[in-house]
Structure 1
Amino acid sequence: MPIRTSYTALGCAGAALFALATGAEAQPCGTSTQSDAPPLYPLPQDGSWGFVGSDGEWRLAPQWRQVRPFSEGVAAAETDAGWGLIDSDGTFIVDPGAQDADRVIIAGETFALSPFKPMSDGCSAATPMDGTPYYVTSDGDTWTPPAFADRDVQDIGSFSEGLAWVRFAEGRVGWIDTAGELAIAPDFIDGGDFVNGRAPAAVNTENRGYIDTSGELVFPRKFILQEAGRYADGLAPVRLNDEAGYMGRDDWAIREIEHPDGDMREIDIATPFSDGRAAVRPAGMAAGPVWINTQGKVAVDPQEGARLTICSDTRLPAYTGGLLPLVVGHGTNICGNTPDIRYEGPGDPRSGPETMLWHLPWGRDKLVWLDKTGAKVIDQAACRRAPGVAALKAATDTGDLAPGAYRMTLSGTATGDVAPRRADAPCNRSEFTMDGNEATNAAGPWVLSLAGDAEWQGKPVAAMLSLGLPEGIEEGTKEIGATSEENLPSAYLWMSRRDAGPNAPRPATYTSQSGTLTLSQRNQTAITGTVEITFASRDAPSDEIILSARFNEIPYEAGPEVSVVETTGAVTALDESMPDDPLINFFTPAKAVESEDRLVLSLGEYGPKLELDLPAEYDGAFTAGPDADVSITFAGMPVTAEGQLERSDGRLSGDVTAKLGAHEQVDGAGSVTVRFAEIPVESDE
């Protein structure tokens, strides 16, 4: 059997002999260099990769072709020049340029795997396509262990507990120490990292076990395991005969997993633990992988209740930085067609089908990160601030609400304490604007919407307060009434389940019953005040929620105004025939979209809407018709019109009189004049 202490390799007549190395100098690997920086997580955007914090906001802007997770404050990142290593500031400590011999080909596009393994015990194991493997320190220095001299080295592992495995060209695996000398001779065909004094090792493809740091077999008594993974949390994934599971120091620890409903399942595939969770494929189940805790209980089942759809459920990624990366279906939870994915090269264990695929090739996919309970913490599709944009201050230095800020508390059926946040911050759906198809910015009515987070039945929900303000409301203290009372302020409280499947229970709509509103400011600039409201559930009136909120100078957002000024002939008859459906509903909401050469103004979204098509940047009077540069349709059919269009601060105002001859939507000729204002122009990119 191999012996314990360091050796240096000597070539002799084509054979590898080993002699004791004396006076070996300590080298840079073997001591962990844990970073004090908060964890960062890879995330793609528009074809490039960057890193976000646990709040989902960008810390390092998307700028790299590929990246890998951080470890000990260092991550691999690829540019067009190749792979390098960056620190937590995004600065390259090893310039890009390295390539790995292994690569993944996805739908015909080739991506080289990173030649840098995760930083461990102060070093990253590097396996460049050309040249001998070596180690890189967290400072970017390189080190080639003396044991590699005059040897053809295929692959190397990370340092763990002072030892790192090495695969030589003859297909044999040994371990080097931190001096770079052989500590365990290459008598094995496979091996892994040491954890608590044990490492997996194989004497042939069917016989595996665990050795100690002297290279001696310590568990089981013979090399009888068909599969053996590294230890973590005192447990190691193994396969013995036809049984997969986890063994402790001396015997089986987990042979079945337990689902929350008490259902017990045997294990088909087991993977090493990381952050107290391990990916497992249960036997006889088509639902995909689950993640268990160290007691063998299912802690995370992403696809339970159709909450998420894993795009490639043969892959079993591990937790990193306390979170689990998954590529899942986007929108309707449908991933799209699975592309052709294949690997080429000498064979890297990181290219196995069970490893994380750091690509999103399914068409309807996205990357999410889940916490240890399975809750979604980071979502690629979520709104976030642009890279480099700082968060707006929600409080002053004295602790008061900053202009544009608010806070809310909820008690009762739903609870929550919404810390001060800015209504005008990117991604905040709060707003103060006019309310209704016939509203105007000057006269109202208006609505103040404030978004927050709460808990309902122990589950996280997104809460939205919608406070309706009647026409002409002035400053002062007002009574809040039920939503059926038109002349009093009233409110709705909507809540939506976060991260829930389609069949999960959902909160009812809550409507105001009573309360008090105090306004110290309300104009077309901002609104300031306090409110306390008692809400009742529409489904169960005895279920009540008390909401209190304070808001300071929430900025007013001018809304698009549309009004029907005049109708004639058949259009008047059409309006009179629909007393319960005012004609104004045909022409709202309004939307303007401008491309490089055209401006389309839509008055209405469905049914007999008016749609103007003008040259880009148009401003002034117009005459529209089939042969004019400006065209107009009513309910999709060409008509004629004349009117005026004015631009100011990216918004459109004006009027249009559309003249209808024979038209399938009206009985006879007629016209309608519509006035519009404050319609924002969107860019068609």
Structure 2
Amino acid sequence: FLTTLVQLLLVCLICSGCWFKQSAPITHTPPPAAKEGTESGAPHAYQQTGLVDASGQESLTEKFAYILPLEEEPRLAAVMLSDTKWAFVKPDGEFAFDGRFEQGTGFREGLAVVQQDGKYGFVLPDGTFAVKPEFEFADWAGFHDGLCEVRSGETSAYVDKEGKIVIPYQRELFKAGNFRGGLTHYSKDGEEIFIDTQGKESFRSSLPGPFRYGDDLWVAGEENVTYLDAQGRDVLGKTFAAGRPFRDGLAAAKNEKGWGLIDKTGKFVIEPQYEDAETLTETLFAARKDGKWGVFKTTGEQVVPFEYDEIGYPSGGMVPVKVGTLWGLCDESGKLAVQPKYKSLHPWRDDKHFIFHIEGQ
């Protein structure tokens, strides 16, 4: 059990800053149990955590063992207090309600997945249960398109917000994951089968995976990628040497000249010329040249020079940047505002703060 949790922590740390290695900006999977710790202080032998703003001012230090980002309304975040105790806090860091859980994660579509007495259920923003813990496991990604994946043995099903099974337990669905754009998918007999929220087949694809989603389109494969719509149609009518999901109408894609940005017609709006690239926001993208990363406006104007080993997702006008093994913050003019000193940085999602982690001694 502990080994599995340690693996989950590594996923958390990787996703927290290294966006071009994984599409999702931050995982919803909780980290492992901490070492000795209490509600009054984070266990330093495990790690130090808190929030930092653009001035370098730190807060919520010495309080929690691990912090996950604020989620959608009602703007609550899951925090780890000790090895088997989780709670939920408001943007000011105060507890949202008295409830404590063995594990928890952020709210999605009004509910959060929690574990209590070894079972999984769904809690409301006031701390009461919408569905009491009854499942062997529930996907930490929570609800998407009104459904959440639950598991029994090596089978998975999908339940609604009342805990009723909408798509029955099936071996093929095991770890299929959350719905995106009204679809999820699983592999069978060499094909990828996409189903809707009623469990009905939408389309099949014989294209190689993985399949990633963004902005109403699926991108299939890691090499010679194809972009598909909800009916499985090749909407661009062309393939790219590599490509990533769309975000705010643009996607990073590669041809024989390098990486650039394409629009939803498949046209390069930022000419392919970089070693790697990724969209960050509606108006910013990151690119790598000579092994270093910088940031550009989608108009092509460079705002952060090619000086950094990695770039994270911006928030509140600040961009996480990595130098060597440590993360700091620079503003969107390229000025370094917070010197690199953190093991990881990712947005708290209040447009003011970033969650930081420092490994304990």
Counterpart position of 1:232: 247
The structural deviation recorded for 1:311 is 0.9
Tell me whether 1:172 sits opposite 2:191 in the alignment: yes
Counterpart position of 2:313: 291
Is the contact made by 1:278 and 1:291 (CA closer than 8 Å) also made in structure 2? no
Tell me whether 1:214 sits opposite 2:231 in the alignment: yes
Decide whether aligned partners of structure 1 residues 176 and 325 sit closer, same or farther in structure 2, where only a CA change above 3 A counts.
farther
Counterpart position of 2:130: 93
TM-score with structure 2 setting the length: 0.58
The structural deviation recorded for 1:87 is 1.8
2:175 partner SS:
strand
Tell me whether 1:270 sits opposite 2:299 in the alignment: no
In the alignment, the residues of structure 2 paired with residue 320 and residue 44 of structure 1 have an alpha-carbon distance, to the nearest angstrom, of: 18
Is the contact made by 2:241 and 2:256 (CA closer than 8 Å) also made in structure 1? yes
**Match for residue 146 of structure 2 among 118, 122, 128:** 122
The structural deviation recorded for 1:173 is 1.9
The structural deviation recorded for 1:42 is 2.1
Counterpart position of 1:139: 162
Decide whether aligned partners of structure 1 residues 88 and 43 sit closer, same or farther in structure 2, where only a CA change above 3 A counts.
same
1:155 partner SS:
coil
Counterpart position of 1:309: 341
1:152 partner SS:
coil
Q: Cα RMSD over matched residues? A: 3.9
Is the contact made by 1:164 and 1:193 (CA closer than 8 Å) also made in structure 2? no
Tell me whether 1:56 sits opposite 2:93 in the alignment: yes
Structure 2 letter corresponding to 1:210: Y
The structural deviation recorded for 1:319 is 7.1
Matches within 5 A, 1:366-385: none
The structural deviation recorded for 1:325 is 5.4
Counterpart position of 2:109: 72
Counterpart position of 2:76: 40
Is the contact made by 1:134 and 1:142 (CA closer than 8 Å) also made in structure 2? yes
Is the contact made by 2:139 and 2:177 (CA closer than 8 Å) also made in structure 1? no
2:206 partner SS:
strand
1:326 partner SS:
strand
Is the contact made by 2:184 and 2:194 (CA closer than 8 Å) also made in structure 1? yes
Counterpart position of 1:514: none
Counterpart position of 2:355: 326
Decide whether aligned partners of structure 1 residues 130 and 46 sit closer, same or farther in structure 2, where only a CA change above 3 A counts.
closer
**Match for residue 185 of structure 1 among 201, 204, 212:** 204
The structural deviation recorded for 1:226 is 2.1
Structure 2 letter corresponding to 1:132: T
Matches within 5 A, 1:488-567: none
Matches within 5 A, 1:101-116: 115-116=139-140
**Match for residue 268 of structure 2 among 247, 252, 255:** 252
In the alignment, the residues of structure 1 paired with residue 256 and residue 119 of structure 2 have an alpha-carbon distance, to the nearest angstrom, of: 43
Structure with larger RCO (C-alpha < 8 A, sep 6+)? 2
TM-score with structure 1 setting the length: 0.33
In the alignment, the residues of structure 2 paired with residue 255 and residue 129 of structure 1 have an alpha-carbon distance, to the nearest angstrom, of: 48
Matches within 5 A, 1:641-660: none
Is the contact made by 1:209 and 1:225 (CA closer than 8 Å) also made in structure 2? no
The structural deviation recorded for 1:211 is 1.0
Decide whether aligned partners of structure 1 residues 269 and 59 sit closer, same or farther in structure 2, where only a CA change above 3 A counts.
farther
2:109 partner SS:
coil
Is the contact made by 2:314 and 2:347 (CA closer than 8 Å) also made in structure 1? no
The structural deviation recorded for 1:239 is 4.3
Structure 2 letter corresponding to 1:122: G
The structural deviation recorded for 1:62 is 6.8
Is the contact made by 1:167 and 1:173 (CA closer than 8 Å) also made in structure 2? yes
Question: How many aligned positions are there?
Answer: 259
Structure 2 letter corresponding to 1:291: Y
Q: Which has the larger radius of gyration?
A: 1
In the alignment, the residues of structure 2 paired with residue 159 and residue 168 of structure 1 have an alpha-carbon distance, to the nearest angstrom, of: 15
The structural deviation recorded for 1:320 is 5.4
Is the contact made by 1:69 and 1:320 (CA closer than 8 Å) also made in structure 2? no
In the alignment, the residues of structure 1 paired with residue 288 and residue 340 of structure 2 have an alpha-carbon distance, to the nearest angstrom, of: 18
The structural deviation recorded for 1:164 is 0.9
In the alignment, the residues of structure 2 paired with residue 214 and residue 53 of structure 1 have an alpha-carbon distance, to the nearest angstrom, of: 40
Q: Deviations over 1:283-316 (max 9, x none)?
A: 51445423358xxx97423433444633147xxx
Decide whether aligned partners of structure 1 residues 80 and 178 sit closer, same or farther in structure 2, where only a CA change above 3 A counts.
closer
Is the contact made by 1:227 and 1:240 (CA closer than 8 Å) also made in structure 2? no
In the alignment, the residues of structure 1 paired with residue 86 and residue 341 of structure 2 have an alpha-carbon distance, to the nearest angstrom, of: 22
Q: Deviations over 1:21-54 (max 9, x none)?
A: xxxxxxxxxxxxxx99521122333443222222
In the alignment, the residues of structure 1 paired with residue 89 and residue 283 of structure 2 have an alpha-carbon distance, to the nearest angstrom, of: 22
2:342 partner SS:
coil
**Match for residue 121 of structure 2 among 73, 84, 87:** 84
Q: Deviations over 1:436-487 (max 9, x none)?
A: xxxxxxxxxxxxxxxxxxxxxxxxxxxxxxxxxxxxxxxxxxxxxxxxxxxx
The structural deviation recorded for 1:214 is 2.2
Decide whether aligned partners of structure 1 residues 62 and 232 sit closer, same or farther in structure 2, where only a CA change above 3 A counts.
farther
Decide whether aligned partners of structure 1 residues 226 and 36 sit closer, same or farther in structure 2, where only a CA change above 3 A counts.
closer
Decide whether aligned partners of structure 1 residues 94 and 300 sit closer, same or farther in structure 2, where only a CA change above 3 A counts.
same
1:78 partner SS:
strand
Structure 1 letter corresponding to 2:179: F
In the alignment, the residues of structure 1 paired with residue 178 and residue 285 of structure 2 have an alpha-carbon distance, to the nearest angstrom, of: 22
Is the contact made by 2:74 and 2:110 (CA closer than 8 Å) also made in structure 1? no
